[in-house]
Amino acid sequence: EAGVAQSPRYKIIEKRQSVAFWCNPISGHATLYWYQQILGQGPKLLIQFQNNGVVDDSQLPKDRFSAERLKGVDSTLKIQPAKLEDSAVYLCASSPQRGPTADTQYFGPGTRLTVL
């Protein structure tokens, strides 16, 4: 079974530029998550989708971040414009279904973003 795919793996941009990350979850997984992991910290949830609907985007900086999951499969996370503090690894994860049974989340390799 293929895992969670993410691209690109690395991205370097100047501040105020735009950037987009792509994620393809494990086939059949209804729930998709985007996390931000700043160096030295644990991942922090940015947004959670259930199929193509947003379940929780309470920690997404909506003035600059946006995400969509068209057709309930793959997803795109965009930052526009980027700030220095957005430098982090962006992890995508998927799980078969929504809680409350604490589905195991399976993570992709992440995209390491550096904002100069």
Binding residues for other proteins (CB under 8 A)? 3, 40-45, 48, 50, 55-56, 58, 89, 91, 93, 98-100, 102-110, 112
Shortest Å distance, C-beta 72 to other proteins: 16
Pairing of strands 111-115, 106-107: unpaired
Shortest Å distance, C-beta 71 to other proteins: 20
Q: Nearest Cα to 83, choosing from 100, 108, 63?
A: 63
SS3 85: helix
CB nearer to other proteins: give 57 or 81.
57
Report the DSSP beta bridge partners of residue 115: 13
CB nearer to other proteins: give 78 or 112.
112
End-to-end Cα distance, the chain:
37
Shortest Å distance, C-beta 102 to other proteins: 4
